[in-house]
Structure 1
Amino acid sequence: MDFRPMQYVYEPVGNESAYTLLLLHGTGGDERDLLPLAGSLGKGFNVVSLRGNVEENGMPRFFRRLGLGVFDEEDVHFRTHEMVHFLKELAATEGFDINKLIAVGYSNGANIAGAALILYPELLAGAVLFRPMQPLSGLEDSFETQRQQPVFMSSGTEDGMVDPAATAAYAALLSANGFQVSAYNINTGHNLVHQDITLAAEWMANHFQ
Structure 2
Amino acid sequence: MAKDSYTYTQLRGKPGGPLAFLFHGTGGDENQMLGLGLDLLPGVAAISPRGDVSEFGAARFFRRTGEGVYDMADLAARTAKMAGFVKAHVEEARPSSVIGIGFSNGANILASLVFAEPQLFDAAILMHPLIPFEPQVKGSLAGKRILVTAGRRDPICPPELTTRLASYLRADGADVTLEWHEGGHEMRQNELVAARDFLAPYRAAQGQEVRT
After TM superposition, the score normalised by the length of structure 2 is 0.88
User: What are the ranges of 5 or more consecutive residues in structure 1 without an aligned counterpart?
Assistant: none
Deviations 1:131-172 (A, max 9, x none): 0122653626x54234x1100000001101111111111101
Q: Shift in Å at residue 90 of structure 1?
A: 2.9
- Describe how 1:54-73 pairs up with structure 2 within 5 A: 54-73=53-72
Aligned equivalent of 2:141, options 134, 138, 145: 145
- Counterpart check, 1:121 vs 2:105: no
The structure-2 alpha-carbon separation of the partners of 1:50 and 1:97, relative to structure 1 and needing over 3 Å to count, comes to same
Mapped partners of 2:95, 2:3: distance in 1: 19
Contact 2:100 2:123 in 1 (8 A): yes
Which residue number corresponds to residue 40 of structure 1? Answer: 39
Residue 156 of structure 1: aligned partner? 151
CA RMSD of aligned residues (A): 2.1
Asked if structure 1 preserves the Cα contact closer than 8 Å seen for 2:51 and 2:61, the reply is yes
- After TM superposition, give the deviation of residue 4 of structure 1 in Å: 7.9
Q: How many angstroms apart in 2 are the aligned matches of 1:6 and 1:135?
A: 26
Partner of 2:192: 197
Identity of aligned residues (%): 30
Aligned pairs (5 A) from 1:178-197: 178-197=173-192
Post-superposition shift, 1:43?
A: 2.6
Q: Secondary structure at the match of 2:109?
A: helix
Deviations 1:64-83 (A, max 9, x none): 01110111111111101001
Q: Distance in 2 between matches of 1:137 and 1:198?
A: 29
Provide the rounded CA distance (Å) in 2 between the counterparts of 1:49 and 1:154.
Answer: 20
**Cα offsets for 1:40-85 (capped at 9, x unmatched):** 1123421111101111000100000111011111111110100111
Shift of 1:100: 2.0
Separation in structure 2 between the aligned mates of residue 87 and residue 126 of structure 1, nearest angstrom: 14
Deviates most, 7-16 or 26-35:
7-16
Q: Is the CA contact (8 Å cut-off) linking 1:73 and 1:136 kept in structure 2?
A: no
Q: Distance in 2 between matches of 1:144 and 1:195?
A: 30
Amino acid at match of 1:145: L
- Are 2:75 and 1:76 aligned? yes
Per-residue Cα deviation, 1:112-144 (whole angstroms, up to 9, x for no partner): 00001100011111101100122653626x542
Secondary structure of 2:93's partner?
coil
- The separation in 2 between residues aligned to 1:175 and 1:139, in whole angstroms, is 13
Give yes or no for contact 1:186–1:195 (8 Å, CA) kept in 2.
yes
CA contact (8 A) 1:114 1:135 kept: no
Q: In the aligned structure 1, how far is the partner of 2:193 from the partner of 2:85?
A: 31
**Alpha-carbon distance between aligned partners in 2 of 1:179 and 1:96, rounded to the nearest angstrom:** 25
Q: TM-score, normalised by structure 1?
A: 0.89
